[in-house]
Amino acid sequence: MVEIKTPEQIARMRAAGLVVAEIHRACAAAAVPGATTKDLDEIAAQVLADHGAKPNFLGYGGFPATICTSVNEVVVHGIPDRVTVLKSGDIISIDAGAIVDGWHGDAALTVLVGEGHPPEVAELSRVTEESLWAGIAAMRRGNRLVDISRAIEGHIRRQPLPPSGRYGIIESYGGHGIGSEMHMDPHLLNYVDRRRGRGPKLVPGMCLAIEPMVSLGTAKTHVLADEWTVKTNDGTWSAHWEHSVALTEEGPLVLTAPDGGRERLARLGVTAAPDPLA
């Protein structure tokens, strides 16, 4: 049910992950006031072409673009276009993927566009990113899937509340297994649902895309008439951070982080696995 990868297969997923990291670097640098979301999509397509990698979002269930660009109250799955012009004070989640030799990478980051963000918006992105790393740090042998969910939720719940009075951990979307396909078993909730049990044991060879999505209000979302764009029901802004992570015999390797997660995991007392391509 859960695909277990060999070290050689994880090395190929690392190659895909590094292409995703390069897309993020290029798109984040271009996410400035005046840019359109289509500009970012074209940059992503060029990075894929430059690396001989294939897109995994384009055509997925009919998705019409290379990346998802989700601005402000859009949570995920925003479609890049030429009419959405970024302005100072916006936030944008850039969700990107790549296929190399048949193996997938998938990651997202939230960029604060320009300046002038209210403190709670910057804090929302910071808390969401930190919750991702808390989840990654829980991806270790002997733990269960639910331990990752608990680490993500626990980190968010320990934060001081924003002026809105709550953080909404988005309920209808979550992380997933990844490997020979982009979306595989198991589904990973970003909170603990006791009705679901503890989930599978985490063993070397498992690869997960971990992706908390958090709003400044509700946990509830709806899909627009374009059948893709997901917005919060109350219009509050949301942040989204994601990495693809492999559990190896030597610990977690963050496939879509340039340094394999070494620096961020060290801050949490976790040693990242050595990079098989370094």
Q: Which is nearer to Mg ion, 22 or 106 (CB)?
A: 106
CB distance 275 to 163 below 8 Å: no
- Two tokens at 198? 């503890």
Query: Which candidate, 199, 14, 238, places its Cα nearest to that of 107?
Result: 14
Smallest distance from Mg ion to CB 77, Å = 10
Cβ within 8 Å of residue 29, ≥6 positions away: none
Smallest distance from Mg ion to CB 75, Å = 13
Binding interface with Mg ion (CB under 5 A): 106, 209
Q: Which is nearer to Mg ion, 40 or 209 (CB)?
A: 209
- Two tokens at 141? 């042998």
Which H/E stretch holds residue 277? none
Smallest distance from Mg ion to CB 255, Å = 12
Residue 137, CA distances (Å) to 29, 157, 259 in order:
28, 17, 15
Q: Which is nearer to Mg ion, 100 or 209 (CB)?
A: 209
Q: Please tell me what DSSP assigns to residue 195.
A: G
Q: Which is nearer to Mg ion, 35 or 209 (CB)?
A: 209
Longest C-alpha distance within the chain, in Å?
Answer: 48
Starting at the earlier edge strand, list the strands of the sheet with 230-232: 74-76, 230-232, 221-223
CB half-sphere exposure, 268, CA atoms < 13 A: 20
Q: Which is nearer to Mg ion, 32 or 58 (CB)?
A: 58
Q: Which is nearer to Mg ion, 106 or 130 (CB)?
A: 106
Cβ within 8 Å of residue 59, ≥6 positions away: none
Smallest distance from Mg ion to CB 214, Å = 15
Q: Please tell me what DSSP assigns to residue 225.
A: T
Q: Which is nearer to Mg ion, 43 or 96 (CB)?
A: 96
Query: Which candidate, 232, 214, 237, 253, places its Cα nearest to that of 105?
Result: 253
Q: Which is nearer to Mg ion, 10 or 184 (CB)?
A: 184
Smallest distance from Mg ion to CB 213, Å = 10
CA-CA distance, 135 to 155, in Å (whole number)?
Answer: 9
CA-CA distance, 84 to 112, in Å (whole number)?
Answer: 16
Smallest distance from Mg ion to CB 135, Å = 13
Smallest distance from Mg ion to CB 106, Å = 4
